[in-house]
Structure 1
Amino acid sequence: MNPFTAAAFAWQTSVVFTLRSAQLWARPAEAQATLAGYALEKQKAFAAGALAAGQAAMAGAAAPAVLAAAVAPAHRRVRANMRKLTGG
């Protein structure tokens, strides 16, 4: 992952975290169910990343390719969440 992609990923993650935190604060009655959904979403992304990294490693990919495979599902999820939260 190049530094610009990593920086964009970090920035998008912080925006998603901030916007979701504001939503939780604005609707505390729904927070428990919403947080459970967020946790499940993260577990799915991390499991997909672990599987992709394992497959890349077993195929003999170099370390940067294994890292990219591991991070790709989480990165896709963060980008999708950002688009959804910002309306764009």
Structure 2
Amino acid sequence: MNPFAAAALAWQASLVFTARSLQLWAEPASAQATLLRYALEKQRAFGAGALAASQAVLAGAAAPAVMAAALAPAERRVRANLRRLTRG
């Protein structure tokens, strides 16, 4: 992963975290269910990344390709969350 992509991912993740934290603060009654949904979303992304990395290793991919495969599901979720949260 190039440094600019890593920085972009970190920036986007921090924006998503901030926006979600503000939503939790604004709606404390639904916070428990919302936090559970967030945790499950992360577990699904981690599982998909682990599976993609395993497939890349079995296909004989080089380390950078394995790392890219492992991070791809999380990157997609972060971008989708940012789009959804910033739409207004």
Settle same-fold status: TM greater than 0.5.
yes
Other structure's SS at 2:61 match:
coil
2:77 is aligned with 1:77: yes
| 1:39 Cα deviation after fit | 0.4
Structure 1 gaps of 5+ residues are: none
Residue 39 of structure 2 corresponds to 39
Once the 2 structures are TM-superposed, how far is the Cα of residue 80 of structure 1 from its aligned partner? 0.1
Deviation of 1:31 (Å):
0.1
Q: Secondary structure at the match of 1:60?
A: coil
Answering whether residue 70 of structure 2 is matched by residue 67 of structure 1, we say no
**Counterparts of 2:19 and 2:28, CA distance in 1:** 14
Runs (4+) off by over 4 Å: none
Structure 1 residue 56 corresponds to structure 2 residue 56: yes
What is the CA RMSD across the aligned residues, in angstroms?
0.9
The 3-state SS of whatever aligns with 2:17 is: helix
The alignment's TM-score, normalised by the length of structure 1, stands at: 0.98
Instruction: State how far apart, in whole Å, the 1-side matches of 2:79 and 2:5 are.
Output: 12
Name the count of aligned residue pairs.
Answer: 88
Aligned-pair distance for 1:58?
0.7
Displacement after TM superposition at 1:5 (Å): 0.6
**Which runs of 5 or more residues in structure 2 are unaligned?**
none
SS state of the match for residue 82, structure 1?
A: helix
Aligned equivalents of 2:22 and 2:58: distance in 1?
42
Q: Percent identity?
A: 76
Give the TM-score normalised by structure 2: 0.98
